């Protein structure tokens, strides 16, 4: 295959605090005093847009950040505290013009009616560049904020060991609930016909209520009548995405998501994960390839391999232990990362969601080092070719389920 014939890569970045490494906030270029300011997030997203990235995601949670999966860790030497992801996206939206904005939402403890309205509003504010990352919560401390459900203190083995049957059932239920959540928000986005607003001054009719629809969703977790109070979003359906590490969340991606983020550690694992998601798509009755699959990578980039490794070692020393992540941790040059991305892309991946180890340094290395390298290889855009997030990802605007 010639360079020109190679399919283009899609690139996103996952923004979280001062970066994904626990010691990122102590780096010389870090801006720890600005993490709760609008200007900090605006600058990061502007940098990502200058790099022509497809979209950015904003991390969120309902408890303080923790190195432990299910419990607070009590750490005081790492970033703790965050802003609301949906509100960050809404704040930076008017300052951008092309890049997609995808906030994280914890679906276990929020109502789908509210979130459908929030993301539809974000889609209007961005003129069609909104998405949402749905995330479940199996944390007891987060459930305690709401008092509506009881979650065991340790629903699964902390270090990847075997799960108890009750814990496995809980995890399955949480992801099944998330699938119903997505059904509800998608139904609400369709509950207004595209032409429901008439705005006819002569007759005094602003809206045709015959073009609004009750979704009448009845399920194990939700009973939602509808319609929404927000007209159908500019994209029709904003992008729904989810992070998945194993079979139960793979099933959520396969039956509910437009994009799934996965965490392979080599091309072989990527190929196996994609095959499993495609099997789950078929079982759910969706066409193969309905969900684009992006690989997550934590990246630390420098002009030389030695300098990248040296910086990672320094960060680890400041943190007091080697950094471990669910995703592969890459430390090297932009050219070396480009090699890896192309190798993994051949396994069937649609794109990559890069997690900068430190901010803003590694984001700048992505946009000013990696992107030009990929452009030289003919595998990344040289300009935004669409005005909506669906358009950037090559997805058409779907017709409403209620369309005649």
- Taking only the tens place, the pLDDT of each residue in 78-135 is 999 999 999 999 999 999 999 999 999 999 999 999 999 999 999 999 999 999 999 9
Please state the φ and ψ torsions of residue 245, each to the nearest 5 degrees: -115, -15
Which of 163, 350, 366 is CA-nearest to residue 246?
163
Report the phi/psi class of residue 149: left, alpha or beta, with left for phi > 0 and alpha for psi in -120 to 50. beta
Which of 65, 242, 70, 250 is CA-nearest to residue 167?
70
Tokens in use for 15?
């923004």
Indicate the pLDDT class of residue 159, thresholds 50, 70 and 90. very low
Q: Long-range CB contacts (< 8 A, 24+ apart) of 46-51?
A: 46/95, 46/96, 47/360, 47/363, 47/364, 47/367, 48/13, 48/15, 48/99, 48/363, 48/367, 49/96, 49/97, 49/98, 49/99, 50/367, 51/11, 51/366, 51/367, 51/368, 51/371
Confidence (pLDDT) at 154? 65
Indicate the pLDDT class of residue 163, thresholds 50, 70 and 90. low
Specify burial of residue 286 (Cβ count, 10 A radius: 0-12, 13-18, 19+). middle
Domain 10-136+237-392: CATH architecture, name and number where available: Alpha-Beta Barrel (3.20)
Which of 97, 89, 94 is CA-nearest to residue 115?
89
Question: Tens of pLDDT along 214-243?
Answer: 999 999 999 999 999 999 999 999 999 999
Q: What is the mean pLDDT of the chain?
A: 94
Average pLDDT of the segment spanning 309-314: 98
Indicate the pLDDT class of residue 256, thresholds 50, 70 and 90. very high
Average pLDDT of the segment spanning 310-332: 97
Q: Are strands 223-224 and 217-218 parallel, antiparallel or unpaired?
A: antiparallel
Confidence (pLDDT) at 167? 83
Indicate the pLDDT class of residue 5, thresholds 50, 70 and 90. low
Cα–Cα distance between 291 and 393 in angstroms, integer?
Answer: 11
Judged by average pLDDT, the poorest of 39-43, 129-133, 140-144, 388-392 is 140-144
Indicate the pLDDT class of residue 4, thresholds 50, 70 and 90. very low
Q: At what angle do helices 112-125 and 85-92 cross, to 10 degrees?
A: 20
Confidence (pLDDT) at 3? 45
pLDDT over 90 for what percent of the chain? 89
Q: Would you kindly state where each structural domain of the chain is located, as residue ranges?
A: 10-136+237-392
Confidence (pLDDT) at 394? 96
Judged by average pLDDT, the poorest of 149-158, 226-235, 358-367 is 149-158
Indicate the pLDDT class of residue 7, thresholds 50, 70 and 90. confident
Question: Tens of pLDDT along 175-217?
Answer: 999 999 999 999 999 999 999 999 999 999 999 999 999 999 9
Please state the φ and ψ torsions of residue 280, each to the nearest 5 degrees: -65, -35
Cα 285 to chain centroid distance, Å, stands at 24
- Beta carbons of 125 and 93 less than 8 angstroms apart: yes
């Amino acid at each position: 295959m010639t360079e020109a014939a190679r399919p283009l890569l899609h690139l996103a970045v996952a923004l979280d605090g001062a970066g994904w490494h626990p010691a990122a906030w102590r780096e010389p270029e870090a801006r720890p005093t600005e993490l709760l300011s609008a200007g900090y997030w605006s600058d990061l997203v502007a940098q990502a847009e200058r790099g022509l990235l497809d979209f950015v995601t904003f991390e969120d949670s309902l408890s303080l950040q923790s190195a432990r999966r299910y419990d607070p860790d009590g750490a005081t030497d790492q970033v703790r505290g965050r802003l609301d992801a949906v509100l960050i996206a809404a704040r930076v939206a008017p300052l951008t013009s092309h890049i997609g904005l995808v906030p994280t939402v914890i679906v276990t403890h929020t109502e789908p009616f509210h979130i459908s309205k929030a993301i539809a509003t974000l889609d209007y504010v961005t003129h069609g560049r909104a998405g949402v990352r749905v995330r479940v919560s199996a944390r007891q401390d987060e459930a305690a904020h709401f008092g509506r459900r009881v979650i065991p203190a340790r629903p699964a083995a902390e270090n990847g060991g075997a799960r108890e049957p009750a814990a496995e059932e809980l995890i399955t239920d949480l992801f099944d609930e998330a699938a119903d959540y997505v059904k509800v928000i998608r139904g609400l986005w369709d509950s207004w016909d595209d032409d429901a607003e008439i705005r006819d001054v002569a007759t005094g009719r602003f809206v045709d209520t015959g073009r609004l629809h009750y979704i009448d969703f009845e399920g194990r977790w939700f009973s939602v009548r509808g319609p929404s109070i927000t007209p159908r979003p500019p994209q029709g359906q904003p992008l729904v995405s989810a992070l998945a590490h194993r079979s139960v969340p793979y099933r959520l991606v396969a039956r509910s998501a437009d994009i799934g983020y996965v965490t392979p550690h080599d091309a072989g694992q990527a190929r196996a994960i994609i095959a499993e998601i495609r099997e789950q798509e078929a079982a759910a009755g969706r066409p193969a390839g309905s969900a684009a699959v992006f690989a997550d990578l934590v990246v630390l980039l420098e002009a030389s391999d030695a300098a990248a490794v040296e910086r990672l070692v320094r960060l680890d020393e400041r943190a007091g232990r080697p950094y471990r992540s669910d995703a592969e941790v890459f430390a090297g040059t932009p050219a070396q990362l480009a090699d890896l991305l192309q190798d993994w892309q051949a396994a069937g991946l649609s794109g990559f969601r890069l997690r900068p180890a430190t901010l803003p340094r590694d984001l700048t290395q992505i946009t000013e080092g990696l992107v030009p390298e990929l452009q030289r290889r003919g595998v990344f855009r040289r300009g935004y070719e669409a005005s909506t997030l669906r358009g950037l990802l090559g997805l058409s605007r779907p017709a409403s389920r209620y369309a005649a």
